[in-house]
Amino acid sequence: MTTPAIINESTHFSDPADFHQIDFPDGSWVRVKKQLSVADYDRIQQGLVEIEGIGSGMNRAERRAMRGGQGQQQGQQQAEGIKAKFRPSTVLLLTISILSWSFTRPVTPETIATLSQATARHIESVVDELNPT
């Protein structure tokens, strides 16, 4: 009888309690998720683009046509009434990634949006390093 292999599941699942601490020279710190989950990525993708003019009842073939697959001419006709609005992604990424920090202000989407450009970009770069795509 063979013994089942022990599998390290931590490489397959995102543990919300697992964090990475970013230390700043002034002694402050920010804790971010060490690994984003598939649900986190879905939230980020859904938050990046707002599409107006697409009915929720579109079937798979119609969506493929919209992307230029089969029936490219039909897709172009349907695409005329569609508007895509791209949203900034940094605040959304940081809102999903930041777990806690040493600052006196609470961790909320509103306070994250008021981070300085330099601080936000530094946190974003660490999150990107932790979660290569």
Which tens digit of pLDDT belongs to each residue from 84-101? 777 668 999 999 999 999
Q: Would you state the structure tokens that stand for residue 117, as one six-digit string?
A: 């450009």
pLDDT band of 47, cuts 50, 70, 90: confident
Cross-strand bridge partners of residue 29:
23
Q: Is the pLDDT of residue 111 over 80?
A: yes
Which tens digit of pLDDT belongs to each residue from 49-96? 777 765 545 556 665 665 655 444 544 455 566 777 776 689 999 999
Q: Find the mean pLDDT for residues 25-50.
A: 88
Residue 22 half-sphere exposure toward CB, CA atoms < 13 A: 24
Q: Would you state the structure tokens that stand for residue 36, as one six-digit string?
A: 């984003």
Amino acid at the residue 2: T
| Predicted TM-score of the model (pTM) | 0.64
Q: Would you state the structure tokens that stand for residue 17, as one six-digit string?
A: 């309690």
